[in-house]
């Protein structure tokens, strides 16, 4: 599968996929001659409730956006007629935006990397107007995928080795979100998706066989099951709850079919699964697996697993595709360094509850005896701490990606390996534990300097 097929570069993302203030500021920077490089960092302010780690995702689509970024004549024409731009010189549209592209460099956590609030997951250094303009689309792309991958890691953990399939396309925030969620959930550890296009684009295994409508179409469930088996003798998962789960189980057994799988989508799945299992076993259908779906999340799955219900796999929808307990990450993209008078200067923001740290940063994960013990956030020029593994890697230079992004499958494997290095207590569902993240003395000093600088 080629790179083109894997990357979603929808028509709907374009140079106007940004907040208006990015364009007014770009015009202002351009007019003021502020086109020297600046550095922004994308990070998450606070951990969502009950989480103890996050998993980075969305980088591939973010980079594809940066590489393709251009203004069409139509877009420039539309912009310049906005009343807000009445006093902006024509050259901004006719010259600057006409030849505009993203020419900067990007460092990022590889997709699948576990990380913590305050740690940059993406660092952009580019001429100030370029670095500014891309904020909106980068945040929307990276934060959503990261949120889904982080949720998926929890759901997969709860399932304790049973397969988890992402089934959430219909509840996603539109079809673009559905596609991004399927990919991110897979990177976060899911085993497949129901979304066919995610299978085609990203090589994710696809699952699904029948809905209630199939069963309703036939006057009797047994006819529905038999007819389905004609086309899908090996892969059918017979849906049992359209009318009465146990009656459907008996009909399926009576049909003489040898179902690979049955699916429970409603009712008390713990008790139902036991009864269905017992009836299947009595009929000699010991190889038939039971798959559960319907408003599942990590907590519900943990309950089912703890009850030792005979359920062999889970389909999870809304909880994955909308991250319904924390649908927005507090992800921000903040200016940390500008050039003033030819010299780089770390900058900060002091708004209540929204402080930032100055200067471009690296995140070091300290690995001791095969275990990750703490992270250190340092300035990019600082030496590596002992045992430190650098988490941010350069992925784009002068506006071009410097290597193909790994496939979703590779990112998923890397994620599993990196998660296994974290302390076990961090991966509990109601994580009380915090992973230690410290900031170097040098960055603390830079913050004080930046602070004093502004107060003058």
Subset of 300-339 contacting a copy of itself (CB under 8 A): 318, 322-324, 327-329, 331, 333-335, 338
Question: Within 32-71, which residues bind a copy of itself (CB under 8 A)?
Answer: 32, 34, 38, 40
Closest distance to a copy of itself from the beta carbon of 213 (Å): 4
Is 344 an interacting residue with respect to a copy of itself (CB under 8 A)? Answer: no
- Region binding a copy of itself by CB under 8 A among candidate stretches 273-281, 302-310, 350-358, 398-406: 350-358
Closest distance to a copy of itself from the beta carbon of 389 (Å): 30
Is 254 an interacting residue with respect to a copy of itself (CB under 8 A)? Answer: no
Closest distance to a copy of itself from the beta carbon of 375 (Å): 25
Is 73 an interacting residue with respect to a copy of itself (CB under 8 A)? Answer: no
Q: Which residues, in sequence order, are bridge partners of residue 343? A: 340
Cα–Cα dist 285/256, whole Å = 10
Cα–Cα dist 183/193, whole Å = 8
Closest distance to a copy of itself from the beta carbon of 105 (Å): 18
Is 9 an interacting residue with respect to a copy of itself (CB under 8 A)? Answer: yes
Question: Within 116-155, which residues bind a copy of itself (CB under 8 A)?
Answer: 128, 132, 135-137, 139-141, 143-145
What phi-psi label fits residue 325: left (phi over 0), alpha (psi between -120 and 50 degrees) or beta? Answer: alpha
Among 3, 46, 84, 441, binds a copy of itself (CB under 8 A): 84
- From the CB of residue 1, how many other CB atoms can be counted at a distance below 10 Å? 10
Cα–Cα dist 87/244, whole Å = 69
Is 175 an interacting residue with respect to a copy of itself (CB under 8 A)? Answer: yes
Among 340, 371, 398, 417, binds a copy of itself (CB under 8 A): 340
What is the token pair recorded at 114? Answer: 């576990």
Number of residues that bind a copy of itself (CB under 8 A): 118
- Region binding a copy of itself by CB under 8 A among candidate stretches 95-103, 239-247, 359-367, 379-387: 239-247
Letter string b/e over residues 172-200, b meaning 16 or more CB atoms within 10 A of that residue's CB = beeebbbbbbbbbbbbbbbbbbbbebbbe
Residues 6+ apart with CB under 8 A from 120: 41, 42, 43, 361, 363, 377, 392
Give DSSP secondary structure letters for 278-317.
HHHHHTT-TT-EEEE-SS--HHHHHHHHHTT----EEEE-
């Amino acid at each position: 599968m080629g790179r083109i097929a894997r990357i979603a570069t929808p028509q709907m993302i374009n140079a106007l996929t940004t907040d208006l203030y990015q364009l007014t500021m770009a015009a202002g920077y351009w007019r003021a001659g502020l086109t020297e490089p600046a550095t922004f960092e994308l990070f998450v302010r606070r951990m969502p409730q009950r989480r103890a780690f996050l998993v980075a995702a969305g980088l591939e689509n973010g980079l594809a956006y940066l590489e393709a970024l251009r203004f069409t004549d139509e877009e420039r024409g539309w912009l310049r007629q906005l009343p807000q731009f009445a006093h902006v010189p024509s050259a901004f549209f006719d010259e600057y935006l006409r030849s505009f592209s993203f020419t900067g460099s990007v460092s990022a956590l590889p997709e699948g990397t576990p990380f913590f609030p305050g740690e940059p997951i993406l660092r952009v250094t580019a001429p100030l107007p370029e670095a500014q303009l891309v904020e909106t689309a980068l945040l929307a792309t990276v934060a959503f995928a990261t949120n889904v991958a982080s949720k998926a890691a929890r759901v997969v953990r709860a399932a304790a080795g049973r397969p988890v399939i992402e089934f959430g396309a219909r509840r996603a925030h539109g079809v673009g979100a559905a596609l991004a969620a399927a990919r991110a959930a897979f990177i976060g550890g899911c085993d497949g998706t129901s979304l066919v296009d995610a299978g085609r684009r990203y090589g994710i295994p696809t699952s699904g066989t029948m809905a209630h409508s199939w069963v309703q179409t036939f006057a009797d469930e047994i006819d529905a099951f038999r007819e389905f088996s004609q086309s899908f003798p090996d892969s059918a998962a017979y849906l049992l709850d359209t009318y009465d789960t146990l009656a459907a189980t008996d009909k399926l057994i009576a049909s003489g079919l040898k179902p690979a799988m049955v699916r429970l989508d409603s009712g008390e799945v713990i008790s139902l699964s036991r009864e269905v299992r017992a009836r299947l076993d009595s009929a000699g259908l010991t190889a038939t697996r039971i798959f559960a779906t319907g408003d599942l999340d990590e907590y519900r799955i943990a309950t089912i697993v703890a009850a030792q219900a005979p359920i062999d796999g889970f389909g999870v929808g809304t909880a994955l595709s909308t991250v319904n307990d924390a649908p927005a990450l507090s992800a921000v993209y903040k200016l940390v360094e500008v050039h003033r008078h030819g010299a780089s200067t770390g900058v900060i923001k002091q708004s209540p509850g929204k402080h930032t740290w100055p200067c471009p940063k690296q995140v070091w994960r300290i690995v001791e005896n095969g275990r990750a013990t703490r992270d250190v956030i340092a300035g990019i020029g600082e030496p590596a701490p002992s045992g430190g593994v650098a988490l941010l890697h350069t992925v784009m230079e002068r506006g071009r990606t410097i290597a193909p992004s790994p496939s979703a499958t590779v990112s998923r494997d890397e994620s599993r390996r990196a998660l296994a290095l974290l302390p076990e207590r961090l991966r509990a569902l109601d994580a009380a534990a915090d992973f230690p993240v410290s900031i170097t003395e040098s960055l603390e000093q830079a913050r004080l300097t930046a602070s004093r600088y502004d107060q003058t």
